[in-house]
Amino acid sequence: MKLPFFRSPDGREGGGSADPTERRDESVLTPAPEAAGVMAGRVPEVKSPSAPAGPTKIAARDVSVFYGDKQALYDVSLDIPDKTVTAFIGPSGCGKSTFLRTMNRMNDTIQGCRVTGKILMDGQDINARSVDPVLLRAQVGMVFQKPNPFPKTIYENVAYGPRIHGLTTSKAELDGIVESSLKKAGLWDEVADRLHSPGTGLSGGQQQRLVIARAIAVNPEVILMDEPCSALDPIATARIEELIDELRERYCIVIVTHSMAQAARVSQRTAFFHMGRLVEHGNTEEIFTNPRERRTLDYITGRFG
């Protein structure tokens, strides 16, 4: 069952999914010779090149964001494909989190924040009056930098969403959702025997996977991740990156990261932001090997940021 985030008069769901994208060749590309020369071998390897992106899931059109009088984002237009990992990169303060938050209306919760332009999900305006932001946020889940499990048991963390959204009618059904969500998040084997222990008792990497399981439990279509690995050690980071690679078969995923290597490893599309503007976007392979803009090249090669 999908969560219809639109309370439209005709009861139509705001969802719609496409065929899963094929798994792709995992061969590693080297930068194009002309770019490689300039970059002197400092460009991260792209793991999943030439990804056939799914159909557009989210389309942003001329999106600007203001905090009070201060404009943080300028006329961003970007298509985000389904069944694909899109990375947002750019120096601190360039507007990555601000833009990410426009996609599930988290900016609504910030006083003085104003969004103009349009965000369409499956062609429908998520800022329309008919959209319930609570349902939208279930459908467009979010994972933050710092794992934020509820102060509840592992089981309750995952069961909470399906319960408040009325997705199940029986305890057995709820147990099934908890188990399948923990399995999809790659955490089941580690917690199956302690489901009723506190979620906060898990390691940081496990907590981040618990939070992902919690997002998955309400059947999202999109998962937004804002620097999900920045508080994790390299092993936990690798585990989350593997998970992201698995999840892209089912979901539209957007990840904000400061790690160029991570963007190159996990994403198939990359968008580079600078000073509130989207400078360029495209296939990760192209952005990392042959960027069109000098600013992109300077950033990915570590000349600023």
Positions in the binding site for ligand ATP (CB under 6 A): 67, 72, 90, 92-98, 110
Nearer to Mg ion, 97 or 290 (CB): 97
Q: Which residue number, 145 or 200, has a Cβ lying nearer to Mg ion? A: 145
Binding region for Mg ion (CB under 5 A) out of 35-43, 55-63, 97-105, 266-274: 97-105
Q: Is 102 in the site for Mg ion (CB under 5 A)?
A: no
Nearest to 225 by CA among 178, 258, 179, 180: 258
Relative orientation angle of helices 154-164 and 204-216, to the nearest 10 degrees: 20
Is residue 257 within the footprint of Mg ion (CB under 5 A)?
no
- For the CB of residue 133, give the shortest distance to ligand ATP in the complex, in Å: 17
Nearer to ligand ATP, 109 or 197 (CB): 109
DSSP one-letter code for 218: T
Q: How many residues does the chain have?
A: 305
Strand 85-89 with 269-274, pairing = parallel
The HSE-up count of residue 238 (CA atoms within 13 Å, CB side) is 2
Stretch that binds Mg ion, among 93-101, 106-114, 132-140, 271-279 (CB under 5 A): 93-101
Find the largest Cα–Cα distance for the chain: 62
94 binds, among Mg ion, ligand ATP, none (CB under 5 to 8 A by kind): ligand ATP
State yes or no: residue 296 binds Mg ion (CB under 5 A): no
The answer to whether 97 contacts Mg ion (rule: CB under 5 A) is yes
Is residue 30 within 8 Å of residue 36, measured between CB atoms?
yes
Q: What are phi and psi of 201, to 5 degrees?
A: -85, -5
Please tell me whether residue 284 binds Mg ion under the rule CB under 5 A: no
Q: Is the Cβ of residue 68 or residue 151 nearer to ligand ATP in the bound state?
A: 68
Closest approach of Mg ion to the CB of residue 255, in Å: 12
CB of 82 to ligand ATP, least distance (A): 24
Q: Which does 60 bind (CB under 5 to 8 A by kind): ligand ATP, Mg ion, none?
A: none
Q: Which helix (H) or strand (E) holds 209?
A: helix 204-216
Residue indicated by tokens 């062609």 = 123
Stretch (H or E) spanning 139: helix 133-139
- State the minimum distance, in angstroms, from the CB of residue 72 to ligand ATP: 3
Buried b (16+ CB within 10 A) or exposed e, 292-301: eeebbbebbb
Question: What is the contact surface with Mg ion in residues (CB under 5 A)?
Answer: 97
